[in-house]
Amino acid sequence: MSANFWLVLASVLGGALIAAQGPIYARMALAFDSSIVATMLAFVIATTAISIIVLATRTPMPTMDQLATAPKWVWLGAFVGVFQVLVSIAAVPKLGVGPFVLLVVFGQVVAAQFYDQFGWFELEQRSINFKSTAGVLLMMAGLALVFSR
């Protein structure tokens, strides 16, 4: 099988696991009576897991020069993860997993349009076109259907 097949399969599995994160984190927050503690523990566990992977694969760590020359905005990515976990803890129990995930993906697609259009984050510029706009409008229609239950 081609490498793309495995990437597609892994991507679908990743999506399924991302959908599971919200309910898992919400239940963790309920167990510890704190969304902040649940978020912290989730990141401690994630840091431990990736540290083991780095050690097991002998992945070299960046040099001080590499750390110093990285664009300053790359460090904001970690805050995005914390925000998303905290939002999922609050939103999933109230909205449900499906609507929450759909809203997250909608936010990703709309933001991606702007990232591409303006070349933000040092990306190659790609113009918003009719098809991408139609896709966003179809997603909006999907959101309307999901929330009209």
- The single residue listed with the structure tokens 């959908």 is 19
Dihedral-angle region of residue 121 (phi above 0 means left; psi in -120 to 50 means alpha; beta otherwise): left
Rounded to whole angstroms, the Cα distance separating 35 from 85 reads 9
Q: What is the pLDDT of residues 1-38, one digit of tens each?
A: 788 999 999 999 999 999 999 999 999 999 999 999 99
What is the reported pTM?
0.85
Q: Which DSSP letter does residue 70 get?
A: S
The CA-atom distances, in angstroms, between 71 and each of 53, 54, 67 are 25, 23, 9
Write the burial class of residue 22 (CB in 10 Å: 0-12 exposed, 13-18 middle, 19+ buried). Answer: buried
Direct distance between the N- and C-terminal alpha carbons of the chain, in angstroms, rounded to an integer:
41
Instruction: Report the mean per-residue pLDDT for the chain.
Output: 94
Give the tens place of pLDDT for each residue, 109-140: 999 999 999 999 999 999 999 999 999 999 99
Residue 149 has pLDDT above 90, yes or no: no
Q: What is the pLDDT of residues 89-106, one digit of tens each?
A: 999 999 999 999 999 999
Rounded alpha-carbon distances, angstroms, from residue 67 to 7, 47, 86, 130? 29, 18, 28, 40
Residue 69 confidence (pLDDT) above 80:
yes
pLDDT of 52: 98
| Rounded Cα distance, 76 and 72, in Å | 8
